[in-house]
């Protein structure tokens, strides 16, 4: 696995830079991953020799751009094992994908004071869009225990005749907890309730098959799996996407427009108003192909090994409290150092070259539940190394000494 990580790492130019005159130790991969040269080159090649608008031009460049954009859609289809390419809608990211579904269901499925089941560990982008969907929707969160495990015993009791949706993260960006999705989806469907999965973290740490999972919607962001920022995906079962109204109006999403009435384009174009992020989609395809060339399953194992090693190393630091100890875990470790504030730790180790994230990580309800102000979070990708984790551990010990 070490050999695999070293090979993988060589593709990421940014990992060779220095910060504060120290080698960069990038451990903020849950916020965004770095980009391999394959992705950077694919985007750059498109702008150098392929740039053109899609779906409209009579000319060759436009046809080629359209083909490349649609090839990216097919790559995503296969990556998720979706039944049809038209079930893949390109968005700006997870946030926009969830907003698209929330606005659509708000206008169709939801009635006044309906309920949505989520979990306490949702990211704000899987909370706030539902609050903005109208109809005074009430969120019913599934609790987590002190170790960060979902309390599935209470899941069934959250359903009632007002329940219209379950929306849940595939993996927590704070605790690392991986959700037992199959079970959660099966129970939702037993209650005839559709389910949306926030795959922003899960897409990297799990092999995802939307047909096997049988989820109704699945969302992810390219930038958390080595692709550019500004491109993401909404997967929806055909029958759900057919029912949803368009999210935004504009070019490309219409069939016929008059001042009296407009008819809409077929899937997926109904949801892709205006000029899309063609370069981003091409970059996303390059990232998925890149992952495939190493084997996604092997990259996952390489990350798991790093996470297990890091848990062992960090546990040995005096006064360090891990937040979230689920053994089945994404490559995310949150912790606190007794008597110190997360942001002080973050600032001090930044000067030692180590990039982590501190704060509430867009999960304020979870922080409230755990009664903590925030955490320090180290998160890994398959290009990280044991030496970098050792550097983190020794930096934390030094920071602790400086603060206590
Ligand atoms: C990052 C993240 C999001 C939001 O993704 P964007 O790329 O900012 O749209 C949502 N949910 C989880 C679990 C995340 O980690």
Question: What is the position in ligand 1's atom list of the atom closest to the CA of 223?
Answer: 7
Place of tokens 């927590």: 172
Contact 133, 102 (CB under 8 A): yes
Q: From ligand 1's centre to the CA of 125, what distance in Å?
A: 7
47-72 pLDDT, tens digit per residue, is: 999 999 998 788 999 999 999 999 99
Contact 137, 185 (CB under 8 A): no
Query: Would you state the structure tokens that stand for residue 120, as one six-digit string?
Result: 């306490």
Q: How far apart are CA 251 and CA 255, in angstroms?
A: 10
Report the pLDDT value the prediction gives residue 48, as an integer from 0 to 100.
98
Q: From ligand 1's centre to the CA of 8, what distance in Å?
A: 24
392-402 pLDDT, tens digit per residue, is: 999 999 999 99
Annotated active-site residue 362? The verdict is: yes
124-159 pLDDT, tens digit per residue, is: 999 999 999 999 999 999 999 878 899 999 999 999
Q: From ligand 1's centre to the CA of 95, what distance in Å?
A: 6
pTM of the shown model: 0.98
Mutation probe of ligand 1 site: the residue of 90, 120, 125, 202 with most atoms within 8 A of C-beta? 125
Q: How far apart are CA 188 and CA 168, in angstroms?
A: 11
Ligand 1: residues with CB < 6 A are: 93-95, 123, 125-126, 169, 173, 198, 200-201, 221
Mutation probe of ligand 1 site: the residue of 100, 118, 198, 360 with most atoms within 8 A of C-beta? 198
34-50 pLDDT, tens digit per residue, is: 999 999 999 999 999 99
């Amino acid at each position: 696995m070490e050999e695999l990580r070293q090979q993988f790492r060589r593709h990421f130019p940014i990992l060779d830079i220095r910060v504060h005159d120290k080698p960069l130790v990038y451990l903020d991969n849950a916020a965004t991953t770095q980009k391999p040269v394959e992705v950077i080159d694919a985007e750059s090649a498109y702008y150098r020799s392929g740039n053109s608008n899609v779906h409209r031009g009579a000319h060759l460049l436009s046809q080629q751009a359209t083909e490349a954009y649609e090839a990216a859609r097919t790559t995503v289809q296969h990556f998720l094992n979706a039944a049809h390419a038209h079930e893949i809608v390109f968005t700006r990211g997870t946030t926009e994908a969830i907003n698209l579904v929330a606005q659509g269901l708000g206008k169709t499925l939801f009635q006044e004071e309906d309920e949505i089941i989520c979990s306490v560990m949702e990211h704000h982008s899987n909370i706030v869009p539902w609050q903005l969907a109208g109809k005074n929707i009430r969120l019913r969160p599934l609790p987590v225990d002190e170790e960060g495990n979902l309390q599935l015993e209470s899941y069934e009791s959250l359903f009632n005749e007002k329940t219209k949706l379950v929306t849940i993260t595939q993996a927590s960006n704070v605790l690392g907890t991986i959700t037992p999705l199959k079970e959660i989806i099966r129970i939702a469907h037993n209650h005839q309730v559709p389910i949306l999965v926030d795959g922003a973290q899960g897409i990297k740490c799990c092999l995802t098959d939307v047909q096997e999972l049988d989820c109704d919607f699945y969302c992810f962001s390219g930038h958390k799996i080595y692709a550019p920022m500004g491109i993401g995906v909404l997967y929806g079962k055909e029958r759900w996407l057919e029912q949803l109204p368009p999210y935004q109006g504009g070019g490309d999403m219409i069939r016929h427009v008059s001042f009296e009435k407009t008819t809409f384009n077929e899937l997926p174009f109904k949801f892709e108003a205006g000029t899309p992020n063609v370069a981003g989609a091409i970059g996303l395809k390059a990232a998925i192909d890149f992952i495939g060339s190493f084997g996604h399953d092997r990259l996952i194992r390489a990350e798991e090994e790093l996470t297990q090693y890091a848990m062992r190393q960090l546990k040995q630091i005096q006064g360090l409290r891990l937040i979230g100890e689920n053994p089945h875990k994404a490559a995310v470790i949150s912790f606190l150092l007794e008597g110190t504030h997360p942001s002080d730790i973050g600032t001090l180790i930044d000067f030692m070259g180590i990039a982590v994230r501190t704060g509430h990580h867009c999960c304020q309800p979870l922080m409230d539940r755990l009664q903590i102000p925030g955490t320090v979070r180290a998160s890994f990708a398959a290009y990280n190394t044991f030496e970098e984790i050792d550097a983190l551990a020794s930096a934390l010990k030094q920071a602790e000494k400086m603060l206590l």
